[in-house]
Amino acid sequence: MTYDVHKIRSHFPSLNTGLAFFCGPGGSQVPLVVGAAIAHAITKPISNRNTNTESEKNAEEYVVGFREAVGDLIDVDPRGVVYGRSWTQLTYDFSRTLAKNWGPGDEVVVSRLDHDSNVRPWIQAAEAVGATIRWAELDTKTTEISVAAVEAVLSSKTKLVAITGAGNTIGTRPDLRGIGAAVHKVGALFYVDGVHLTPHAAISVKDIGADFFGFSFYKLMGPHCAALAAAPALLETLSNDKLLPATNIVPERFEFGTLPYELMAGCIAAVNFIAEMAPGNGVTRREKIVNSMNALEKYEDELLEYLESSVASLPGVTLYGKAKHRTPTIYFSFAGHNSVDIYKAMALKSVTLPASNFYALEVSRALGLGDAGALRAGLAPYSTRDDVNRLIAGLKELIA
């Protein structure tokens, strides 16, 4: 299936500004249909969710549609899809809920590859109940987290393993299936942060074997919100704090207050947009999504090769991500140059190339970059060779 990047770009008003965007891992640009869906949903008859009036039915449709869209996007049961304001918020909520079942002697595994949102909530929740944290270490030479590195900290005491589907700075994609099998062997739960992986690959949570998997819509052309998925039967076993009159049914009991129906409409539109990017001969929305994401992954991998080899040829550069299986995201710095200065200078050239630890604090520290981090260039569905050429031309001028 061919991937027509120019056709895809025509849907994004923000690309007409002339900016070359390499900040996709921090949040992607959004196609017009997503904005239109949000505007439409919030201005048509809308009431609190129910099934009596037209306005109640509209709200109901968005909630059901949101869960079905997530179900198709990541291959999960829509009845186990929980809406969240952000992935950080969802992980804080679930860490506190899950910690109700932990105590002294229990262990929770976090990794040095993860964004802090899949690290600190677990550390804080474990500390609050006297449970112990174990670290799955990053091999700083290969920038991999192997199955063996996770196995090394697993035991019959392990309650949960929290790990990312992909590192949001160095791009490392751990062997999730292998790790999941090891986690389940000791009877622990497998909690996967899919925020950086979901925009770059066809996801099947069933295939991965994650007990919890989530992502943020604003990283994949949708509005600023997130979703978490788990088997409804697993959600049933968790008891969380909630208001007395609020429903106790799953997944609603994990969603506090009134849902943002208009954002849910935007999420549905984003998933439909993904399905139509390169649908091939897919018939169902799920089939079209898988075709689109496979075509996108191939396109991004080829562009990554061009980006990475071009950056690697620049004088004084260090590229940090070395894992065999990676997302199209590179993390790098230049000897004798401050990364933030380069970020600011590139902004003046209308190229978005941010520098930071990007909240992957443990990665930054493990790689010897302290808390400052480095430059990150991430590809997105609308990235082109021309964007890469502008990035390289700009960098050449700055480091000359």
Ligand X SMILES: Cc1ncc(COP(=O)(O)O)c(C=O)c1O
Contact in structure between 163 and 118 (CB atoms under 8 Å):
yes
Per the structure block, which two tokens stand in for 223?
């509005």
The answer for residues whose C-beta is within 8 angstroms of residue 52's C-beta and 6 or more apart is none
CB closer to ligand X, 83 vs 334: 83
Piece of 48-56, 67-75, 81-89, 245-253 that binds ligand X (CB under 6 A): 81-89
Find the binder of ligand X among 28, 88, 172, 352 (CB under 6 A): 88
SS3 173: coil
CB 226 → ligand X: shortest distance, Å? 5
Site string for ligand X, 209-248 (x = CB under 6 A): -------x---------x----------------------
Size of the site for ligand X (CB under 6 A): 14
CB 165 → ligand X: shortest distance, Å? 8
Find the binder of ligand X among 115, 120, 159, 326 (CB under 6 A): 115
Site string for ligand X, 118-147 (x = CB under 6 A): ------------------------------
Cα–Cα distance measured from residue 294 to residue 290, given in angstroms and rounded to the nearest whole number: 6
CB 196 → ligand X: shortest distance, Å? 4
What is the crossing angle of helices 285-312 and 385-399, to 10°?
Answer: 30
Piece of 80-88, 97-105, 233-241, 269-277 that binds ligand X (CB under 6 A): 80-88
Cα–Cα distance measured from residue 295 to residue 48, given in angstroms and rounded to the nearest whole number: 39
Is 59 a binding residue for ligand X by CB under 6 A? The answer is: no
Query: Based on C-alpha coordinates, what's the Rg of the chain?
Result: 21
Cα–Cα distance measured from residue 142 to residue 138, given in angstroms and rounded to the nearest whole number: 8
CB closer to ligand X, 46 vs 355: 355
Cis peptide before 104 (omega within 30 of 0): no
Of 74, 102, 345, 118, the C-alpha closest to 229 is 74
**Strand pairing partners for 83?**
227
Piece of 86-94, 99-107, 149-157, 184-192 that binds ligand X (CB under 6 A): 86-94
CB 360 → ligand X: shortest distance, Å? 7
Piece of 66-74, 84-92, 150-158, 381-389 that binds ligand X (CB under 6 A): 84-92
Cα–Cα distance measured from residue 107 to residue 109, given in angstroms and rounded to the nearest whole number: 7
Contact in structure between 164 and 174 (CB atoms under 8 Å):
yes
CB 303 → ligand X: shortest distance, Å? 20
Q: Within 156-215, which residues bind ligand X (CB under 6 A)?
A: 164, 168, 193, 195-196
Distances (CA, A) of 152 to 115, 148, 158: 21, 6, 12
Contact in structure between 149 and 161 (CB atoms under 8 Å):
no
CB closer to ligand X, 88 vs 364: 88
Binding site for ligand X (CB under 6 A): 25-26, 86-88, 115, 117, 164, 168, 193, 195-196, 216, 226
